[in-house]
Amino acid sequence: MKDVFLKACKGIRSEYTPVWFMRQAGRYMPEYQKIRQKYDFLTMCRTPEIAAEVTLQPVKILEVDAAILFSDILIPLEAMGIEIEFLEDKGPKVSPTIRKSADLVFLREIDLEKVNYVFSAIKLLVKELSVPLIGFAASPFTLATYIIEGGSTKEFVNTKRFMFSESDSFHKLMSLFTEATFKYLAQQIKAGVHAVQIFDTWAGILSPFDYEIFVKPYVKELIKGIKNVPIIYFCSNTSGLANHLKDINADVLSIDWRIDIKDATLLFNNQPLQGNLDPLTLLGTEEELFKRAKKILVDGNLAKAHIFNLGHGVNINTSVDRLKKLVDFVHEFKIMEA
């Protein structure tokens, strides 16, 4: 198995910078679209053979250095008695919602048997892959935002109302999700994933003060419990919380494009980093793309180790050919030649 990705997770440099992309399996790929025309999104997630096929597509086509399991961050909610559905062009819908203390009765202890299809897909993949497989889960806070808001939102009014009006109950909700997420990730590891990534997608909506109170203790508890595989922590809107991530204790910090990676190497001294190209750079010219990729590669070399990635998921309008050229550029780039 190619191990440059896992080496980087452990702070070990290789002959080239490993690269993979968040949301690398998805709608921008014609091969994905062919399958999507036959099945709805949740059916794809719930069918191990389909999830495995979609996971493998970008590995074969792009030749990235790691695969990430095709699934969704909301899947664990199904195992906790919550219904999820994905509405075309409207995103996820979650029900029932939990917006006050009394609503916590809707949430059950996680039943991993209900999402056994996730672990079955992992077992299929580890037999076929020539690169490491990354498992993942949403952070407890990101799961909480969806179950409180009932879906996607830009303002997070209900989340913050709950946090600030019934903080004890909000902490109880976070504890429940921390335990559930730990069990979910532990089962992924048992099934065979080689690393895990925690997506704290919405933590950036909070002030640093509230991040310290409502998010960080639970992330640290979760990370402390995970054993035997590298842990990547991705927190969107990194710049505002950067000073508060120093002691999060993940093996790798994945940063978005809102912080200069050179600044991040100084801030997170002796910490492997992942990132941090703006995904929409891929929609511009190749000249601009490679100029920015070069800067990230050169500056990322100042970190203990660097995994090239985007600062968020691949945009649907991205060209597969352009993405493949970027992979080749990263693999062929020699820091000494810069």
Q: What is the CATH number of the domain that holds 100?
A: 3.20.20.210
The pLDDT value recorded for residue 239 is: 79
Give residue 338's pLDDT: 46
Catalytic (active site) residue 322? no
Report the mean per-residue pLDDT for the chain. Answer: 95
In the sheet that holds 306-310, the strands lie side by side as 67-68, 133-138, 195-200, 231-235, 252-254, 273-277, 306-310
Q: pLDDT (tens digit, 9 = 90+) per residue, 172-193?
A: 999 999 999 999 999 999 999 9
Pairing status of strand 273-277 against strand 306-310? parallel
Type of residue at 122: I
Residue 307, beta-bridge partner list? 274
pLDDT of res. 336: 57
149 closest CA partner among 103, 109, 195, 187: 103
Q: Which residues of the chain have pLDDT under 50?
A: 337-338
Whole-number Å distance between alpha carbons of 76 and 135: 13
In the chain, the N- to C-terminal Cα span, in Å, equals 29
Q: Residues 20, 89, 199, CA angle at the centre, nearest 5°?
A: 35
Query: Is there a contact between 227 and 187 (Cβ–Cβ < 8 Å)?
Result: no
Marked catalytic residue, from 3, 16, 27, 260: 27
Is residue 23 annotated as a catalytic residue, yes or no? yes
pTM of the model: 0.96
The reply to whether 36 belongs to the active site is: yes
Query: What's the pLDDT at 270?
Result: 87
CB 275 within 8 A of CB 254: yes
Range of the domain at 25: 4-337
Which residues is 231 bridged to in the sheet?
196
103 is catalytic: no
Q: Is residue 161 annotated as a catalytic residue, yes or no?
A: no
225-248 per-residue burial string, b: 16 or more CB within 10 A, e: under 16 = ebeebbbbbbbbbbebbbebbeeb
As a whole number of angstroms, the distance between CA 40 and CA 206 comes to 33
59, HSE (Cβ side, Cα atoms, 13 Å): 22
Out of 28, 146, 184, 218, the active site residue is 146
State how many domains the chain has. 1
Q: How far apart are CA 57 and CA 55, in angstroms?
A: 6
Classify residue 160 by burial, with Cβ atoms within 10 Å: 0-12, 13-18, 19+: middle
Which of 46, 65, 72, 251 is an active site residue? 72
